Amino acid sequence: MNKLIQEILLGFLEIFKSPAKDWSVFWLLAPIFLFWIILEIYFDKHKKEALGWNTALGNGLSLFWVTISCLKFIFALMMSHDITTSFGTEVFWRMVAIFFIFTYSIFIIWVSFKHNIKDKYFYPIASPTPIYYLSAVIVLLAYGVLNFSWIIIFDLFILYWVILGLELLIRRYVPEDDTSSENDTLSGGSGVDSFGSPSYGSPTSSSFDSQASTPSTISNNNPFASNNPTSNTSNDDPFKF
């Protein structure tokens, strides 16, 4: 039992120190963690806002591009090494794992377009936490800085639920941004459309009828206007024969 716990702890140590084996992985890990943190802060500040199909689509596209970059790296390794060796076999299984995550990203994108799964079941698997967590893991796997084993897979599974629990705990104590409801232009009633420009209603027939039926008061106030509306000005024209 003590040996199992020791192996689990060593697995966590291997996960956390793996990026230091190849500093080039931070070209992918840095934007992954940056976007992950930004999205988590956003949803922590706006607790009443749901994930949304468009955000789920964006998350799927992010995972798609990460897997494409990893597949490019793996194909370059396979072209430069003999796949019949043990190293080639290891690279091949890396590609299989990446292709599995690639299929998952296609699934997220497809469902986001079709809306054929209820959002309460789909949003948890398309939220930033699983998407960017898988993105970081697949980068470590593709670059070979993290060698997968049953202990590592078990530690990654535990680490995911630890991160998810910390996010829920932080979200509980982060105060909600109250200014979002005041600046919400989608609530209506203010004469402003969803793009922030004034909304103008279409003219009705009653408005034209009222303008046609009311007498012109502007002409009555004109000091140069004739008081006799039926006066014939054609008789005063000196050029008319």
Beta-carbon contacts of residue 130 (< 8 Å; ≥ 6 apart): 124, 160
Tell me the C-alpha to C-alpha distance, in Å, between residue 57 and each of 26, 52, 110, 126, 134: 24, 9, 8, 8, 16
Of 10-14, 116-120, 183-187, least confident by mean pLDDT is 183-187
**203-218 average pLDDT score:** 46
Q: How many domains does the chain have?
A: 1
Beta bridge partners of 198: 192
Report yes or no on 20 lying in a domain.
Answer: no
Please give the share of the chain, as a percent, with pLDDT higher than 90. 31
Report yes or no on 167 lying in a domain.
Answer: yes
pLDDT, position 66: 93
Read off the DSSP letter of residue 192: B
* CB 41, CB 151: distance < 8 Å: no
pLDDT, position 198: 42
Report yes or no on 214 lying in a domain.
Answer: no
| Rounded Cα distance, 3 and 44, in Å | 39
User: Encoding tokens for residue 232?
Assistant: 């014939």
* CB 83, CB 89: distance < 8 Å: yes
Report yes or no on 38 lying in a domain.
Answer: yes
User: Encoding tokens for residue 152?
Assistant: 């590592």
Confidence (pTM): 0.69
- Return mean pLDDT, the chain: 76
Of 15-29, 67-81, 200-214, least confident by mean pLDDT is 200-214
Q: Could you tell me if residue 182 is left (phi over 0), alpha (psi between -120 and 50 degrees) or otherwise beta?
A: alpha
Q: Each residue of 134-190: pLDDT tens digit? A: 999 999 999 989 888 889 999 999 999 999 999 888 888 777 766 655 555 444 444
CA 199, 203, 204, 209 torsion-angle sign:
positive
Report yes or no on 109 lying in a domain.
Answer: yes
Expressed as residue numbers, the domain containing 141 is: 25-176
Report yes or no on 221 lying in a domain.
Answer: no
Confidence of residue 85 (pLDDT cuts 50, 70, 90): low
Q: Each residue of 176-202: pLDDT tens digit? A: 766 655 555 444 444 434 334 344 444
pLDDT, position 180: 52
pLDDT, position 34: 93
Confidence of residue 12 (pLDDT cuts 50, 70, 90): very high
Report yes or no on 110 lying in a domain.
Answer: yes
Report yes or no on 90 lying in a domain.
Answer: yes
Q: Each residue of 14-57: pLDDT tens digit? A: 999 999 998 889 999 999 999 999 988 888 777 777 788 988 99
